Amino acid sequence: MTTPDLKNRQNGLPASDDAHAATSHEPSLFEKCHEYFKPSGDYAQIKAADLYPYFRPIERNEGTSAIMNGEEIVMAGSNNYLGLTADPRVQEASAEAIRKYGTGCTGSRFLNGTLDLHLELEERLADFMNEEACVLFSTGYMTNMGVIEGVAGRGDVVLPPQRHGPPAHPDEARPRRTTGRRQAHRHRRRLLDERQGCAGARTD
């Protein structure tokens, strides 16, 4: 298994022999997995020390606290910032929606998955934000993918800000046809100034 010559492929050129030779030593996916999970590797040692932080089952979630391994812990890693998932009003409204619409939309928003609830919420959010309209996405990742993919064009450079929380997925800032460069807030104006002389530069 080798890494494809994406640079030449994007330019419509066949992969070069030099690029193939430079990547022919790349280990296969299965070799990488075997290396990662070997008994002497970091994964096995971290798991043995009970320090592996991922895929830990939660037995009960109260929003700001949770039950794991039978013990109550403070939930500091959730995006449930306002604790609304445990609010009785939200729970009752969710139960009522399930009784009326079922447990899923059975389709995408584009086809048969748009409920009158979606439209009502979008209208109320737009009114709250004093905007003409809005559209809902199910996750922040999908928001970035949908909005940037729709606005950015071929040759555009996307400059997402650095943030102090978990890093955004690279795909969020690098849709097809664009270049992504993560920059600190304070450097954005300088970078935009540098690009003012570029043909077709956009700063919106």
Give the pLDDT confidence of 45-104 residue by residue, as tens digits.
Answer: 999 998 988 898 999 988 788 999 899 999 888 888 888 888 999 999 999 999 999 998
Q: With bands split at pLDDT 50, 70 and 90, how would you rate the model's confidence at 197?
A: low
- First CA to last CA distance, the chain: 41
| CA–CA dist 58, 70 (Å, integer) | 9
Is 184 among the domain residues? Answer: yes
Is 187 among the domain residues? Answer: yes
Most confident residue range from 5-14, 111-120, 132-141, 188-197: 111-120
Say what the pTM is: 0.58
pLDDT, position 86: 86
| DSSP conformation class of 70 | T
pLDDT digits (tens, 9 = 90+) for 172-183: 545 455 555 555
Tell me the longest C-alpha to C-alpha distance in the chain. Answer: 63
CA 96 to chain centre: 30
Is 54 among the domain residues? Answer: no
| CA–CA dist 23, 30 (Å, integer) | 17
For 192, the token pair is 């935009």
CA 14 to chain centre: 32
Domain count across the chain: 2
pLDDT, position 122: 96
pLDDT digits (tens, 9 = 90+) for 108-167: 888 999 999 999 999 999 999 999 999 998 888 888 888 888 888 777 777 666 554 444
Is 55 among the domain residues? Answer: no
Calculate ∠ Cα 55-172-174, nearest 5°.
Answer: 130
Range of the domain at 10: 6-48
| CA–CA dist 124, 137 (Å, integer) | 15
Is 104 among the domain residues? Answer: no
| Alpha-carbon separation of residue 75 from 26, 51, 64, 78, 91 (angstroms) | 40, 17, 5, 6, 19
Is 188 among the domain residues? Answer: yes
Is 140 among the domain residues? Answer: no
| CA–CA dist 5, 51 (Å, integer) | 38
Is 26 among the domain residues? Answer: yes
Regarding predicted confidence, which is higher, 202 or 57? 57
Element spanning 83, H or E: none
